[in-house]
Amino acid sequence: MKPKPNDVILHTVTKLAAVIIFTFSIDLFWAGHHFPGGGFIGGLTTAAGIVLLYLSFDIERIQTNLPIDYKKMAALGVLISVATGMGGMIYGDNFLEQAFGYFDLPVFGETELATAVLFDIGVAFAVIGTAITIITSISEDEL
Amino acid sequence: MNNLLIWPVILPLIAGLLFILLRNHIRLQRVISVVVLAMVAGITIAIMNQISVSGIQTLQLGGWQAPFGIGLVADMFSMLLVLTTSIVAFCCVIFSFRTIGKDRERHYFYSLFLFLITGVNGSFMTGDLFNLYVFFEVLLLASYVLVSLGGTKIQLRETMKYVIINVLSSAFFLVGIAYIYSITGTLNLAHISVRIAEAGQDGFITTVAILFLLVFGIKAGLFLFYWLPGSYSAPPTAVSALFAALLTKVGIYAIIRMYTLVFYHEPQVTHLLLGILAAFTMVLGGIGAVAYSDINKILTYNVIIGAGFILAGIAAFTENGALGSIYYLIHDMIVKALIFLIGGVIVYLTGTTNLKEMSGLIRNHPYLGWMFFIGSLSLIGIPPLSGFIGKVFITRSTFEASYYWLGFIGLIASLMILYSVMKIFMNAFWGETVLSEAEEKGTTKGVMLPVVLLTALTFALGIGPEFINSYVETAVEGLMNPQIYIDAVFGGNEIP
């Protein structure tokens, strides 16, 4: 039997890099309205961070620390997106009509908030869920 | 603006997503899927009544005016198809309760089923070319999984073929959209129609029209149907009945929509080509149906003949032709589902698809036998049943347009259908009863309800076409006058 390799450098770098990747993906996600970025690429980079964790540590360890059912996450994401579309209908608007407004928030000052962000959160969830589901189901070989 | 229009598209989607969250509640999933399909049918009828009162209904998503936003357009033609889709899907889902098996149910069968319905309804209702592509992909992705779900060897092999041919045709579809966008600068179907009518349909646009014919012809099983018999006989009955009833019809719908709304300026080129392809389809499909002695193969070749026949009516491009095509399209969806479901029950009872190994089922299953007989007569177009009226109008329109050869081939193809389904009836139901009830591989318990429902429907449609005639005539009017559609989409706003 092969001795267990000692991946101390990989583990240390992963712990640092994962934080940076997650921060970057959140930045990409928020930038979507005014700069390149958005739900899809934000979700994909988040998934890339999670995949890096999977590569560095083993699957069981990640699943005990991040106990998320990614299939459900993907479905939930699409549901959120559809629900934001239906939100406008309650006020008598067309399906998928977006609303936005300017709010005075404590730390950020005057900020533009739009329901398009909620739609994007749904997209990001769906992308993360789908990407991780594909990768884990290929690696685990279970259905 | 009419928010009712979005429900036939998102209601199945939401239900399908909920089923992923509630993976292990199979019984709940069954109940919800039946309820959702019934609700979609109800909403569709409500929309149809609105259309007959106040014209074509539109919904601009997000409130962006056409042609800048994406719109859903419900004209009578598409709503008739959505209604038929819900009815057929309703029957197929009830059929699948008993036949599909625990394993498939646990692997998101009902979710995929409803995603497929989402895609089909969306394709019927969209008013935007690119959105049509997206909804095509929604239904195709769901159908890829439904073909392969279960993972038997034959399913995997046929899924490969099915996926490859559809990916190829989707790529052509995108190329066609790119051409259209570079010619007209718009993707809204009504706006494309206006732009092409302004600039005139030159040779290049006609070429693009033929490219679209290639794309939708592959999806509809028109002439380029070589992938179809294999991939439709691989999946379980409930799925293949759904495919036979819906998937090719979406391609046919797209051809009819494109060739009546957008590319209607050069019928002597495009519609003649459509007629020639329809004729080849009917002849080759007929030969296939006559040649085999395997139930699944015979039935799938009948799907192909149906596609050719519906498009013969559009090729003639007269009001009678459109009327006949719509009647035949609705009839074909219902009766193909019926005949596939009964074929599935036969295979289920005998445990074989080979006609030569079965006989005498009529003794133990008289109702099943006579319902298959009714379904076959309806398929051929015997007067009191639903296939007749469509067939009469299509044949008449081909003669009116002096495409005598096309009408003639249609009638010959009907004889081939007659021979092929009677071959099933005589071999499977007549003769000596070789299987006693105890020896049968399955029972008909619990699967007869959808079969009875569809049989009753084909009867009702044949005896009382007056009930839907006013709706169908509104649909024909909409198809033959693209201006009605365009006016409804732009809703009095200036056309940029």
List, for residues B245-296, the tens digit of each pLDDT value.
999 999 999 999 999 999 988 888 899 999 999 999 999 999 999 999 899 9
Residue of A74, A94, A143 with shortest CB distance to B60: A94
Q: What is the mean pLDDT of residues B288-310?
A: 91
Note the pTM of the prediction, 2 decimals.
0.94
For position A2, what pLDDT does the model report?
Answer: 66
Reported as a pLDDT band with limits 50, 70 and 90, residue B334 is very high
d(CA B383, CA B390): 10
Confidence check: pLDDT of B433 > 90:
no
For position B438, what pLDDT does the model report?
Answer: 66
Domains of chain A, residue spans: 8-139
d(CA B441, CA B352): 10
For position B1, what pLDDT does the model report?
Answer: 67
State percent of chain B over pLDDT 70: 99
Q: Does A42 touch chain B (CB under 8 A)?
A: no
Segments in chain A below pLDDT 70? 1-2, 141-143
Q: What is the mean pLDDT of residues B221-241?
A: 88
B1/A76 CB distance under 8 A: no
Q: Does A97 touch chain B (CB under 8 A)?
A: yes
Q: Average the pLDDT over each of B298-307, B336-345, B382-391 and give the range with the smallest value.
A: B382-391
Q: How far apart are the first and last CA of chain A?
A: 29
Chain B residues near any Cβ of chain A (below 8 Å): 1, 3, 6, 10, 13-14, 17-18, 20-21, 59-63, 107
Contacts of A71 in chain B (CB under 8 A): 20
For position A132, what pLDDT does the model report?
Answer: 93
Confidence check: pLDDT of B299 > 80:
yes
A97/B18 CB distance under 8 A: no
CB neighbour list of residue B223: distance below 8 Å, 6 or more residues apart: B217, B277, B280, B281, B284, B308
Cβ-Cβ pairs closer than 8 A, A with B, add up to 45
Residue of A75, A94, A97 with shortest CB distance to B20: A75
Reported as a pLDDT band with limits 50, 70 and 90, residue B153 is very high
Residue of B10, B18, B63 with shortest CB distance to A94: B63
Q: Does A86 touch chain B (CB under 8 A)?
A: yes
d(CA B76, CA B473): 9
Pairing type for strands B57-60 and A100-105 reads unpaired
Q: Could you report the per-residue pLDDT of B89-98, keeping only the tens digit for each?
A: 999 999 999 8
Comparing C-alpha atoms, which of A59, A62, A60, A70 is closest to residue A15?
Answer: A62
State percent of chain B over pLDDT 90: 61
Q: Could you report the per-residue pLDDT of B367-419, keeping only the tens digit for each?
A: 889 999 999 999 988 888 888 999 999 999 999 988 899 999 999 999 999 99
Confidence check: pLDDT of B420 > 60:
yes
Q: Does A74 touch chain B (CB under 8 A)?
A: yes
For position B224, what pLDDT does the model report?
Answer: 83
Q: Could you report the per-residue pLDDT of B65-74, keeping only the tens digit for each?
A: 888 889 899 9
From residue A91, give the alpha-carbon distance in Å to each of A85, A94, A95, B46, B347. Answer: 11, 9, 10, 22, 53
Domains of chain B, residue spans: 3-480
From residue B412, give the alpha-carbon distance in Å to each of B251, B279, B284. Answer: 24, 11, 12
Nearest Cα of chain A lies from the Cα of B239 at a distance, in angstroms, of 21
Strand spans (E) along chain A: 100-105, 109-114
Residue of B3, B13, B62 with shortest CB distance to A82: B13
Mean pLDDT of chain B: 90
d(CA B375, CA B459): 9
Confidence check: pLDDT of B183 > 80:
yes
Residue of A72, A76, A95 with shortest CB distance to B61: A95
CB neighbour list of residue B391: distance below 8 Å, 6 or more residues apart: B309, B324, B328, B381, B410, B414
For position A1, what pLDDT does the model report?
Answer: 58
ipTM of the complex model: 0.90
Residue of A75, A82, A97 with shortest CB distance to B62: A97
Contacts of B10 in chain A (CB under 8 A): 82, 85-86, 95
Contacts of B14 in chain A (CB under 8 A): 79, 82
For position A141, what pLDDT does the model report?
Answer: 62
Q: What is the mean pLDDT of residues B326-353?
A: 91
Contacts of B20 in chain A (CB under 8 A): 71-72, 74-75
For position A143, what pLDDT does the model report?
Answer: 46
- What single letter denotes the amino acid at residue B451? V
Confidence check: pLDDT of B437 > 70:
no
Reported as a pLDDT band with limits 50, 70 and 90, residue B227 is confident
Comparing C-alpha atoms, which of B72, B1, B4, B10 is closest to residue B36?
Answer: B10
For position B428, what pLDDT does the model report?
Answer: 87
Nearest Cα of chain A lies from the Cα of B174 at a distance, in angstroms, of 21
CB neighbour list of residue B165: distance below 8 Å, 6 or more residues apart: B218, B227
Only one residue has tokens 């005949």, namely B339
- What single letter denotes the amino acid at residue A89? M
A86/B10 CB distance under 8 A: yes
Q: Does A93 touch chain B (CB under 8 A)?
A: yes
Confidence check: pLDDT of B55 > 80:
yes
Q: Average the pLDDT over each of B307-321, B368-382, B435-449, B472-486 and give the range with the smallest value.
A: B435-449
Residues forming beta bridges with residue A113, ordered by sequence position: A101
Pair B228, B304: CB distance under 8 Å: yes
